[in-house]
Chain A
Amino acid sequence: MNFLHNYIYYIGAFGLIFIGIFIMISKRNYIKVIIGLSILDTGVNLFLISVGYINNGTAPIFSKSAIESKNMVDPVPQALVLTAIVIGVAVLGLALSLGIRLYKHYGTLNLQKIKEQRW
Chain B
Amino acid sequence: MRKVIGIILLVIIAWGIIISLQNVPFGTSRTEVADHYINKGIEETGAANIVTSVVVNYRSLDTLGEVTVLFLAAIGLGAVLASTIRKKEDRDTEKASLILSTGCKFLFPFILLFGAYIFIHGHLTPGGGFQGGAIIASAFLLMYLGCHKEKRINETGIIISESLGGLVFVIIGLIGLAVGTRYFLNNFLPKGEFNTLWSAGIIPIIYIAIGFKVGSELSKIIDLLMEES
Residues of A within 8 A of B (CB): 6-7, 9-10, 14, 18, 21-22, 25-26, 50, 52-55, 57, 59-63, 69, 72-76, 78-79, 82-83, 85-87, 89-91, 93-94, 96-98, 100-101, 104
Q: Could you say which of B58-66, B103-111, B178-186 contacts chain A?
A: B58-66
Q: Which residue of A lies closest to B67 (CB)?
A: A86
A74:B218 contact, CB within 8 angstroms:
no
B49:A89 contact, CB within 8 angstroms:
no
Q: Which listed residue, A10, A26, A82, A96, touches B51 by the CB 8 Å rule?
A: A82
B69:A76 contact, CB within 8 angstroms:
no
Q: Which residues of A contact B161 (CB under 8 A)?
A: none
A87:B80 contact, CB within 8 angstroms:
no
A72:B38 contact, CB within 8 angstroms:
yes
Is B101 on the interface with A (CB-CB < 8 A)?
no
B6:A98 contact, CB within 8 angstroms:
no
A91:B125 contact, CB within 8 angstroms:
no
Q: Which listed residue, A22, A25, A100, touches B81 by the CB 8 Å rule?
A: A100
Q: Which listed residue, B55, B76, B125, B195, touches A79 by the CB 8 Å rule?
A: B55
A74:B34 contact, CB within 8 angstroms:
yes
Is B3 on the interface with A (CB-CB < 8 A)?
yes
Residues of B within 8 A of A (CB): 2-3, 5-7, 9-10, 13-14, 17, 21, 26-31, 33-34, 37-39, 42, 48-51, 54-55, 59, 62-63, 66, 69-70, 72-74, 76-77, 80-81, 84, 124-126, 128, 130, 134, 195, 214, 218, 221, 224-225, 228
Given contacts A18-B14, A101-B81, contact A61 B73 (CB under 8 A): no
Q: Which listed residue, A7, A55, A104, touches B84 by the CB 8 Å rule?
A: A104
A7:B26 contact, CB within 8 angstroms:
yes
Q: Which residue of A lies closest to B62 (CB)?
A: A83
Given contacts A52-B34, A82-B55, contact A60 B10 (CB under 8 A): no
List 26 contacting pairs A-B, 8 Å CB cutoff, sorted by A: A6-B27, A14-B17, A21-B13, A22-B3, A22-B6, A25-B3, A25-B9, A26-B6, A50-B26, A54-B30, A61-B124, A61-B125, A61-B126, A62-B48, A63-B195, A72-B50, A76-B31, A83-B55, A86-B66, A89-B70, A90-B72, A91-B73, A93-B221, A97-B80, A98-B80, A100-B228
